[in-house]
A and B are shown apart, each in its own frame.
Chain A
Amino acid sequence: MQITLDGLQKHYGTYHALKSIDLAVPAGQFVALVGPSGCGKSTLLRTIAGLEAISAGTLRIAGEDVTRRPPRQRDVAMVFQSYALYPHMTVAENMGYALKLRRLNRTDIARRTQVAAATLGLEALLGRYPRELSGGQRQRVAMGRAIVRDPKVFLFDEPLSNLDAALRVHMRGELRDLHDRLAATSVYVTHDQIEAMTMADHVVVMRAGRIEQQGRPLDLYDRPASRFVAGFIGSPAMNILPGTVDPSGRAARLDGAEGPLLSLPMLLEPGRPVLLGLRPEHLRLSQEGGARFDGVVDHIESTGSTTFVKLKVASQAMVMTLARRLDVTLGDPMQIGFDPADLHIFDRESEASLVTQRDAPPRAGRA
């Protein structure tokens, strides 16, 4: 394990920012910490960096207990959201600063800076000052400053959030590519679940100072452990509607809905209040039988390749995405179908998933 967190706690006075975090990151893995603002993901990253003191628990980096060590004795590099480039130093000086502090000789510093600059395509900019660079270039320099040190761990604190949308998508791929080439171990904080899903090997969803769920990106997508993770992972967000288990125990009805019952993939006690979750992309137009219900078209958005249909189902809003165009008008009635295996069921009280024990079927070819 390259990073091991064991019962990590962080208190700010009376505020409990991190509540017993356990996390193990194998060498070479790309881990994304994701969650809404204030969930503690940045705090967790900063405690790994050593910028925040750990209140309790242990942190090991490459097997060594570094819980009480200052940042410079942890051999971690961090890319800041603001990039935090030294404004009075050139690109080369920014990248070489850490090496200079390690008392490397001038030629070694120049050589390693050159190599890092070549990796990132920064050779032509080495003599410039940060103020003379564009946002994307600054971002690269910040990464260059991290990779030139060849650290044990790379930490990223929302590094792409200051870039425009197109560049962000581009840098996503580039960053992941860089991680693979360097065989680095990376911890990446983001509030953007798409970044987490597309870049990471392992996604950690945090909420209110706790790890809500962690796992491989598609596992989180397929088997969210709670309503929170279900709503956070996936875009557009999962439709989550209140329902009640039918007397048979094998079906449920949306609260306030007349139409047919939704068959459940397992047996639940009759009359139990639940939350029914269906991803927009798992809904389809249906004429035939099976699990289905009636809705009314409320709003349509089409991007050309995808059509987003907003429906009213039993006076609740629901979104359906279709990978084709649709010729309907507002107010049209619609029959919506889905595969019962795609139905997520959460307890109304605890909001925990009731279907996590189910093995996810392979989802290849499903749109």
Chain B
Amino acid sequence: MKISGQTSRPGRIAVSALPDPTASTMRLSVFDTFRDGRGLDALLVLLTLVYLIVFGLAPILYTVLMSLQQVDMFTLGDFSRPFVGFANYVDVLTRPEAGMVARHTLVFVALSVACQLVLGFALALFFQQDFPGAGIMRGLFLAAWIMPGLVVGGIWRWMLAGDNGVVNSLLAVTHLHPTKIFWMSDPATSLYAVTIANIWLGIPFNMLLLSVGLAAIPKDLYEAAQLDGAGPVERFRSITLPMMRATLGALVSLSVIFTLQQFDLFAGMTQGGPSNSSNVAQFWSWQLSFQTYDIAGGSTIAVLMIAVVIGVATLYVRSTRHEQIG
């Protein structure tokens, strides 16, 4: 890429020379640039760029625009709508449910990311051990990851059902919690019901990424540490964790982003209820935009969430930029 960007490229000049009098020469040059691969670079970059602009940048910019305008059912088709500055932001943030939703989002993200990471790490370390069937069992864990969120939500809704859910019956049999928990209809537990489902859904991805990271740590480092006198805990603390820093950073950032995108489970399990007790920013944004048609409000929340994601991504890039192990 770098090389082709620096060197002279006659083929490319011919392509960009639009009013070329000799069309046949031009066709030949176009063919040449693709044959020697130099034009292909540009084409691939261009296609990606077009895709990103059309499906990424443009919708984001449009969302930002709508968050600064007064949008209702009747002005949906227009670009020129009354500009209201940050009025939408003030409006959304001062709504009575705003604080609650923000708190729920924080709890949902923090619990999900932390538990997914810890359990995923434990499983990755477990499957790192060499035992018969390790590969197959690890593969089975990935089944959770390929299931559609709505299906997962539906299954967890059954499992967490108050009267005859399997979770409650297990808790009763083991005497851990003899009385029934109405997971999804009790405002005290509804957010945790969705969180549990989301943790389950995210563990395989965590395990997979962490397994890759673990596999990349040279075995002889552990052997050297063993000879230096490090026990298993010390080896984990002074070899595994530092060597996994980049992987962990990437994983936490990705998990935060994925968790902020988690919509299906809320749609499939609690619909944000009862009375917003399990409502989070992403679901609230959707409710505002597509249930109450307060599109400006929904866009505003979306923009705020984009800001958070960009912040997380920046932190991640910053933390790994100087990292070059090996």
Distance of A80 Cα from B221 Cα, bound (Å): 10
Determine whether A181 belongs to the interface, using a CB cutoff of 8 Å to chain B. Answer: no
- Asked whether A49 lies within 8 Å of B225 as measured between CB atoms, the reply is no
Instruction: Tell me, rounded to whole Å, the shortest Cβ–Cβ distance linking A252 to chain B.
Output: 50
- Asked whether B230 lies within 8 Å of A101 as measured between CB atoms, the reply is yes
- Asked whether B326 lies within 8 Å of A84 as measured between CB atoms, the reply is no
- Asked whether A78 lies within 8 Å of B231 as measured between CB atoms, the reply is no
- Find chain B residues with CB under 8 A from A76 CB: 227
Instruction: Tell me, rounded to whole Å, the shortest Cβ–Cβ distance linking A66 to chain B.
Output: 13
Question: Assuming the A-B contacts A80-B224, A82-B218, A101-B234, are A87 and B229 also in contact, with contact meaning beta carbons closer than 8 angstroms in the complex?
Answer: no
Distance of A76 Cα from B245 Cα, bound (Å): 30
- Find chain A residues with CB under 8 A from B231 CB: 72
- Asked whether A77 lies within 8 Å of B227 as measured between CB atoms, the reply is yes
Instruction: Tell me, rounded to whole Å, the shortest Cβ–Cβ distance linking A61 to chain B.
Output: 13
Determine whether A363 belongs to the interface, using a CB cutoff of 8 Å to chain B. Answer: no
Question: Assuming the A-B contacts A80-B220, A82-B218, are A87 and B325 also in contact, with contact meaning beta carbons closer than 8 angstroms in the complex?
Answer: yes
Which residue of chain A lies nearest to B228 when distances are taken between CB atoms in the complex? Answer: A98
Which residue of chain A lies nearest to B222 when distances are taken between CB atoms in the complex? Answer: A84
- Find chain B residues with CB under 8 A from A82 CB: 218, 220
- Asked whether A84 lies within 8 Å of B242 as measured between CB atoms, the reply is no
Query: Of B221, B229, B245, which contacts A86 at CB under 8 A?
Result: B221
Determine whether B243 belongs to the interface, using a CB cutoff of 8 Å to chain A. Answer: yes
Determine whether A70 belongs to the interface, using a CB cutoff of 8 Å to chain B. Answer: yes
- Find chain A residues with CB under 8 A from B324 CB: 131
Q: Interface residues of B: mostly helix, strand, loop or mixed? A: helix
Distance of A82 Cα from B223 Cα, bound (Å): 12
> In this complex, which of B221, B224, B225 has the most chain A Cβ atoms within 10 angstroms of its Cβ?
B224
Instruction: Tell me, rounded to whole Å, the shortest Cβ–Cβ distance linking A263 to chain B.
Output: 54
- Find chain A residues with CB under 8 A from B229 CB: 72, 98, 101-102
- Find chain A residues with CB under 8 A from B25 CB: none
- Asked whether A145 lies within 8 Å of B221 as measured between CB atoms, the reply is no
Query: Of B223, B239, B245, B326, which contacts A80 at CB under 8 A?
Result: B223
- Asked whether B224 lies within 8 Å of A70 as measured between CB atoms, the reply is no
Determine whether A249 belongs to the interface, using a CB cutoff of 8 Å to chain B. Answer: no
Determine whether B48 belongs to the interface, using a CB cutoff of 8 Å to chain A. Answer: no
Determine whether B314 belongs to the interface, using a CB cutoff of 8 Å to chain A. Answer: no
- Find chain A residues with CB under 8 A from B225 CB: 86, 97
Instruction: Tell me, rounded to whole Å, the shortest Cβ–Cβ distance linking B320 to chain A.
Output: 13
Instruction: Tell me, rounded to whole Å, the shortest Cβ–Cβ distance linking A129 to chain B.
Output: 9
Instruction: Tell me, rounded to whole Å, the shortest Cβ–Cβ distance linking B214 to chain A.
Output: 15
Question: Assuming the A-B contacts A82-B220, A84-B218, A101-B234, are A50 and B243 also in contact, with contact meaning beta carbons closer than 8 angstroms in the complex?
Answer: no
Distance of A84 Cα from B220 Cα, bound (Å): 6
Distance of A76 Cα from B229 Cα, bound (Å): 10
Distance of A169 Cα from B283 Cα, bound (Å): 69
- Find chain B residues with CB under 8 A from A101 CB: 228-230, 234
Instruction: Tell me, rounded to whole Å, the shortest Cβ–Cβ distance linking B211 to chain A.
Output: 20
Determine whether B226 belongs to the interface, using a CB cutoff of 8 Å to chain A. Answer: yes
Distance of A86 Cα from B228 Cα, bound (Å): 12
Instruction: Tell me, rounded to whole Å, the shortest Cβ–Cβ distance linking B325 to chain A.
Output: 5
Instruction: Tell me, rounded to whole Å, the shortest Cβ–Cβ distance linking B312 to chain A.
Output: 24
Determine whether B238 belongs to the interface, using a CB cutoff of 8 Å to chain A. Answer: yes
- Asked whether A71 lies within 8 Å of B221 as measured between CB atoms, the reply is no
- Find chain A residues with CB under 8 A from B220 CB: 80, 82, 84
Question: Assuming the A-B contacts A84-B220, A97-B238, A131-B326, are A71 and B226 also in contact, with contact meaning beta carbons closer than 8 angstroms in the complex?
Answer: yes
- Find chain A residues with CB under 8 A from B238 CB: 86, 97
Distance of A84 Cα from B219 Cα, bound (Å): 9
- Asked whether B226 lies within 8 Å of A84 as measured between CB atoms, the reply is no
Contact residues of A between 68 and 102, Cβ < 8 Å to B: 70-72, 76-78, 80, 82, 84-88, 97-98, 101-102
Determine whether A360 belongs to the interface, using a CB cutoff of 8 Å to chain B. Answer: no
- Asked whether B226 lies within 8 Å of A70 as measured between CB atoms, the reply is yes
Determine whether A183 belongs to the interface, using a CB cutoff of 8 Å to chain B. Answer: no
- Asked whether B325 lies within 8 Å of A51 as measured between CB atoms, the reply is no
Distance of A102 Cα from B228 Cα, bound (Å): 9
Instruction: Tell me, rounded to whole Å, the shortest Cβ–Cβ distance linking B248 to chain A.
Output: 13
Query: Of B227, B228, B230, B326, which contacts A87 at CB under 8 A?
Result: B326
- Find chain B residues with CB under 8 A from A49 CB: 223, 227
- Asked whether B228 lies within 8 Å of A145 as measured between CB atoms, the reply is yes
Question: Assuming the A-B contacts A71-B226, A97-B228, A131-B324, are A84 and B221 also in contact, with contact meaning beta carbons closer than 8 angstroms in the complex?
Answer: yes
Distance of A149 Cα from B218 Cα, bound (Å): 23
A-B contact pairs, 6 of them (CB 8 A): A50-B226, A84-B218, A88-B243, A97-B225, A97-B230, A102-B229
Contacts beyond the supplied A72-B229, A86-B225: 18 A-B pairs with Cβ under 8 Å: A51-B223, A71-B223, A71-B226, A72-B226, A76-B227, A78-B223, A78-B224, A78-B227, A80-B224, A82-B220, A84-B224, A86-B221, A86-B224, A88-B245, A98-B229, A101-B229, A131-B325, A131-B326
Across the A-B interface, the 8 shortest Cβ-Cβ residue pairs: A98-B228, A84-B220, A84-B224, A72-B229, A88-B242, A101-B229, A71-B226, A87-B325
